[in-house]
Amino acid sequence: MITTKNQAIQFLTTMQHLYPFVHPEDDLTQIEPPFTPEQVKYLSDCFDQCYHQLTDPCGIILNEIRPKMQFFNPKN
């Protein structure tokens, strides 16, 4: 269960490293390769919990997490 801002940021960071093109607003049933129904439920619940802790999870991803990732900044 995600109950703090730090946990929410850590979850989003982990998701970006594992699935860099998945966003909290995505329809997880449409991701390729597909998630199982159990994974969709778990991840949807986690993303919902992030929204309870953070005003703008997508903004955190784009402005705080991705700028530090080698995947999105190969010259760094």
Residue extents of the structural domains in the chain = 5-72
Q: Which residue from 49, 52, 51, 53 is spatially nearest to 41, judged by alpha carbons?
A: 49
Q: How many residues belong to the chain?
A: 76
**Confidence (pTM):** 0.93
pLDDT for 10-60, tens place per residue? 999 999 999 999 999 999 999 999 999 999 999 999 999 999 999 999 999
State residue 71's pLDDT score: 93
**Confidence bin at 76 (pLDDT 50/70/90):** low
- 23 close to 58: Cβ distance less than 8 angstroms: yes
| Alpha-carbon span 58 to 22, nearest angstrom | 10
- 49 close to 16: Cβ distance less than 8 angstroms: no
State residue 46's pLDDT score: 98
